[in-house]
Amino acid sequence: MIPKYDIVILGAGLIGSSIAYHLSQAAKKENHRFGVAVLDVDLEGRYSASELNAGGARAEWWQSVNIELSKATLSFLAKDPVQFGFRQKGYLWLYDAKGWQDYLLHKDLYRRHELSIEELSPKEVQRRAPFLDRLQGVYAATFSPSDGLFNPNLLKQFFRSEAKKENVQFMDGARVIEIETSAKNVGVQYQDLMSERGHPNPDHVFQILSQKNGTFHYPTKKINTDMLINAAGVWSSALASLYGHEVVCLPVRRQISLFDCQGLDLSPYGMIVDTSGLYVHAEGDHILGGFAIPQEPVGFNFQYDGDLFFEEQIWPRFYERVSRAQALKHLKGWAGLYSVTKDRSGILGQVKGEPRIYEAHSFTGRGAMQSYGVGLAVSELVLKGKAICMDITSLHPDRFRKPHGKLLYEGMHI
């Protein structure tokens, strides 16, 4: 007999785990049990954006829905900062003259959403952060004290552990290969990659998630569900094609370096974002630095370019602001993927023509910091037919298909 669930979630990263958590809490509150399963090729998430991001959380965005989704997560993190490794030390954002004009254009938006933002002159920046002793080209800056840094893995594990208490099942090594929709249910067929050692073969996981050609002979299983939620991040497009929905979300590599600067301790500070797009923050006893290469080609590339990336992209931009950065020690780095949409805002809502299928993915680098808000909104949408916590209709996946669909261009991504 084919196992049947009320809700199946594809993808167990922060978004999928958050949805599972909120569904479980809704069931607990209503004293109503329903079956929820979460499928993922690799629950460890070795190539997931949930594990490979910089760990920042902020509410300053150009679109109202992005602000509210991030605010919801920030509020949740602030309730138990120790449990989630939340360091509420703010974002210091440096602007050139053009960037400052963009900020001023959105100042009323920030005020309407009651964001706490301090405006700083270059001299005030130097008083707060004396190590930033080269501010040529910096016109002004902002500091948002409610923002900060957190540990995405701790948040993800919290979501999962709480969901499991309410009998949510997390299925590791589940590679979805077919999705069938009908008036009665949605059928999900998947390969079971689990080995005798109790975990998927890491080489096979890498080949699958890198979208490399290869044939894998594993047993096939099937489950049925009343509702299906596609929360597979950068792999959502491939899964959407299985139920006949075209989704344009492109995999774009982002690289991060870890390095030391002798005598410089950034632990008193939160995230610092430069006019060049470089961002840095303390990471343990070291410094984490990231930069998005504008000409980065689309593709499932998890390769970190090592010294080449650090010496060409990170070091010169950091030295441009910090004179003591003449000599830095590059330690290591890593690469992950953004799932980038046409307007750089996420996809969230019911699939047109498929009343049993929902999508929640492609937040273009904001998935971690919006995960709590997204999970809450999706759980309400699925269980109540509408998101009560906030208006998410502007993120509907159909906005890219309509001739006059309103796109939500987001310019504050880094």
Residues 6 or more apart whose Cβ sits within 8 Å of residue 394:
63, 64, 65, 345, 406, 408
| pLDDT value for 196 | 67
Please identify which residue in the block is written with the tokens 């004290």.
145
- Classify strands 220-230 and 91-95 as parallel, antiparallel or unpaired: unpaired
All domains in the chain, ordered by first residue:
4-51+153-248+344-400 (3.50.50.60), 88-147+250-340 (3.30.9.10)
The three-state DSSP-derived secondary structure of 363-396 is CCCCHHHHHHHHHHHHHHHHHHCCCCCCCCHHHC
Q: Closest Cα partner for 360 from 343, 379, 342, 344? A: 379
Across 4-8, 214-218, 401-405, which has the greatest mean pLDDT? 4-8
- Range in 4-13, 29-38, 299-308, 383-392 with the lowest mean pLDDT: 29-38
Across 37-51, 61-75, 208-222, which has the greatest mean pLDDT? 61-75
Residues of the chain above pLDDT 70, percent: 99
- Range in 103-117, 208-222, 351-365 with the lowest mean pLDDT: 208-222
pLDDT bucket at 33, cuts 50 / 70 / 90:
confident
Reported as a single tens digit per residue, the pLDDT across 166-208 is: 999 999 999 999 999 999 999 999 999 987 678 899 999 999 9
The string of DSSP codes covering 74-142 is: HHHHHHSTTTTT-B---EEEEE-HHHHHHHHHTHHHHHHTT---EEE-HHHHHHH-TT----TT--EEE
pLDDT bucket at 368, cuts 50 / 70 / 90:
very high
Across 46-50, 261-265, 330-334, which has the greatest mean pLDDT? 330-334
**CA–CA gap between residue 168 and residue 160 (Å, rounded):** 8
pLDDT bucket at 403, cuts 50 / 70 / 90:
low
Whether the pLDDT of residue 61 is over 70: the answer is yes
Whether the pLDDT of residue 359 is over 90: the answer is yes
- Classify strands 169-171 and 4-10 as parallel, antiparallel or unpaired: unpaired
Length of the chain: 414
Reported as a single tens digit per residue, the pLDDT across 377-394 is: 999 999 999 999 999 999
pLDDT bucket at 216, cuts 50 / 70 / 90:
confident
Q: What is the pTM of this model?
A: 0.96
Neighbour-count burial for 280-306, b at 16+ CB within 10 Å, e otherwise: bbbbeebbbbbbbeeeeeeebbbebbe
Is the sign of the CA dihedral 390, 337, 180, 165 positive or negative? negative
What is the mean pLDDT of the segment spanning 28-35? 87
Reported as a single tens digit per residue, the pLDDT across 121-138 is: 999 999 999 999 999 999
Question: Average model confidence (pLDDT) for the chain?
Answer: 95
Q: 191: helix, coil or strand?
A: strand
**CA–CA gap between residue 264 and residue 266 (Å, rounded):** 6
Cα 355 → chain centroid = 26
